[in-house]
Structure 1
């Protein structure tokens, strides 16, 4: 009898387990299919969901104290050719693409014509002075830079230059107590400046800039109030400088920039008047510049003689290459062109060929159009290999904590330029 009871109990237990296992089976949940949200305008916050498209038909504003998070694969499609919307950020903006699924701030494909090569089809991302956090990661920003009018939100709010008739930059950021991070992103087809920054703790790293600036404009324009690490960026054919570094504006803290391992190609030649053409220093800016590769730029690292850089600045290990007599002549040290420590300075045309994997160094220096098949990695035997300095201090080696994530400026490389060998 005892054995029968045991068998019955065991059977009951097995039956219970079987039922329990069936009860806990998980039915697969299908992922939501990407959707298109029409006619987006006005105040926005919350989360724009992965893979969706948001058609922007009016100006946008992220209110103070609120945040907009844009998930991977989102397309922000500026679809009003009359309004040419601006995005005013008074709170926080987190654009969080991935390498496989970047966020895109763009326009309809039919608008991407040769006539619109320099954008002017929407405004830009315009932050307010009390904006807190601004992250642009794995994001494509293209075809913007529209001119302001009296009705532009940036003009009404007193932001950027606060006047009608000004082309807005890709990003304007004036928040002295804020944090700005732009990493692994592409900035292209904009009318004038890329970034115009007047405040904050800043990391700009591993980005690609090209086809920016019609008759003026720098890729990255920094004023007082900014402390920034700028590293491993490729800047192709900016109208004027890749980096314009200035302490103008009398804001505290003093502008201090550590710029290293950037590759700057064909800078400055398209500007109709002579000013700069690679990296420009002025008005007591403090700048530490290392391991930058300057090929076919209009000038070497250049100072404003009447208002030079802070004398604590340190500059060195710059590689210069020139494919023309003018280029070589205009990066030789002078009262305006800064001689660095341990520079690789070419004495004649063709010296210091960086040996890019795939870029014709004979490409016209006034060509603004980027070929995505080009490859600026270095071949074995490049003079840039093994010449990079790594024993300097960058500002954000320990990172900037933003919205629960720590973003670190990349460690310097033993090569010169943004890319080593493959």
Structure 2
């Protein structure tokens, strides 16, 4: 009995000791704030951090910069208007809940600065091998180059002072470019200007881009791309400008499908484009695209037309007024595809967007984030999509060990089906 009592006392003592044991709390790690970033950069910009860019920055050849979720890249020098030159690799890896932002101070986001011009863009070099933007917001850039711009000194993009730089310039025919689930807005001219590489551009929003020129996505020879499920609102000229200019190998080949394009081309002073433009032997397969109130239908350069293997099919057209509807009609320049839904009467084929006034002025560039381009029941775009075609990257592109796959086509036209 004495031994039993002793054992019980020891057990209680041990339990008491355990109850008094206090685990040290995990120290809170505050996000990084770097006040003045310029020059060469590489490594990792850590989750939730803020990196204030006060001069031109460059990722050197052979090195990589990884930007984690929730990072703010803040361009905060209004005199320098910094560029980001990517001679190595860039991986911007936001999430839906915590996107990466390439932006400017909130005080600069005024109506006067609607089209940006407050920093440059992301300008890749000829040996930049891998470039990924995932869940990334890019806004208020597109500044004009000067003789001191690093892109001019390096002979990149158009190699001249006095040119507004695009959101992304990518020239490596052996490289890989992936842009998915991202937003491009408030830029001065072109969105993407691509002269090479295996490319996926999918599930993005483009709006408020281009003052006097500029296409949302401008593709040249050397590029093989899947471009799909993008919502492109009021680009100054075309949503997609597809060309084999430059005669690089491989021939430009683009599979563009399930994109929603609204109000394209009306703000350009001349009539070069107005939805999708094809030229100079580009090979383009275009399916399931929804064109609403664009200046023209799918248009070709009569003097330098597309490759005759190109396929255009299952496009849905809507024109709120008769002028727009008339400019969708087939001609030597305007291409009618197989199984298109096209009417000669204004107001036909109402896409029944969940929330967008179809009477909005075609020259409007201001985007309301409450608009919703999903389709309501009864939309003629539902059931109009073709799914039995081949996309280039159904099996994916491997970038930095991650496989990115172009999305499967859907049985509706446009980027967004029903909710």
Structure 2 counterpart of 1:398? 395
When residues 389 and 14 of structure 1 are mapped into structure 2, their CA distance, relative to the original with a 3 A threshold, is farther
Deviation at 1:30, TM superposition (A): 3.3
Over residues 297-351 of structure 1, what are the superposed CA-to-partner deviations in whole Å (9 max), with x where a residue is unaligned? 0000000010000011010000000011111111101111011000000221001
Q: Distance in 2 between matches of 1:153 and 1:90?
A: 11
When residues 125 and 351 of structure 1 are mapped into structure 2, their CA distance, relative to the original with a 3 A threshold, is same
Q: Is residue 277 of structure 2 the alignment partner of residue 280 of structure 1?
A: yes
Q: Is residue 146 of structure 2 the alignment partner of residue 149 of structure 1?
A: yes
When residues 254 and 14 of structure 1 are mapped into structure 2, their CA distance, relative to the original with a 3 A threshold, is farther
Q: Is residue 349 of structure 2 the alignment partner of residue 352 of structure 1?
A: yes
**Contact residue 287 and residue 313 of structure 2 kept, 8 A:** yes
Q: Distance in 1 between matches of 2:151 and 2:135?
A: 26
SS at match of 1:328: helix
Q: Is residue 408 of structure 2 the alignment partner of residue 420 of structure 1?
A: no
Over residues 355-399 of structure 1, what are the superposed CA-to-partner deviations in whole Å (9 max), with x where a residue is unaligned? 000000000000000000100000000000011000001111111
Over residues 278-302 of structure 1, what are the superposed CA-to-partner deviations in whole Å (9 max), with x where a residue is unaligned? 0000000000000000000000000
The equivalent position to 2:260 in structure 1, one of 251, 259, 263, is 263
Deviation at 1:135, TM superposition (A): 0.4
When residues 303 and 46 of structure 1 are mapped into structure 2, their CA distance, relative to the original with a 3 A threshold, is same
**Contact residue 32 and residue 46 of structure 2 kept, 8 A:** no
When residues 55 and 349 of structure 1 are mapped into structure 2, their CA distance, relative to the original with a 3 A threshold, is same
SS at match of 2:324: helix
Over residues 148-206 of structure 1, what are the superposed CA-to-partner deviations in whole Å (9 max), with x where a residue is unaligned? 00000000000000000000000000011110000000000000000000000000000
The equivalent position to 2:68 in structure 1, one of 68, 71, 79, is 71
Structure 2 counterpart of 1:325? 322
SS at match of 2:91: strand
SS at match of 2:255: strand
Deviation at 1:31, TM superposition (A): 3.7
The equivalent position to 1:118 in structure 2, one of 115, 118, 136, is 115
Structure 2 counterpart of 1:229? 226
**Contact residue 68 and residue 93 of structure 2 kept, 8 A:** yes
Task: Tell me the TM-score normalised to structure 1 length.
Answer: 0.95
SS at match of 1:166: coil
Q: Distance in 2 between matches of 1:277 and 1:212?
A: 14
Q: Is residue 190 of structure 2 the alignment partner of residue 187 of structure 1?
A: no
Structure 1 counterpart of 2:36? 39
Q: Distance in 2 between matches of 1:258 and 1:61?
A: 32
Alignment of 1:209-224 (within 5 A): 209-224=206-221
**Contact residue 210 and residue 235 of structure 2 kept, 8 A:** yes
The equivalent position to 2:89 in structure 1, one of 82, 85, 92, is 92
Q: Is residue 108 of structure 2 the alignment partner of residue 108 of structure 1?
A: no
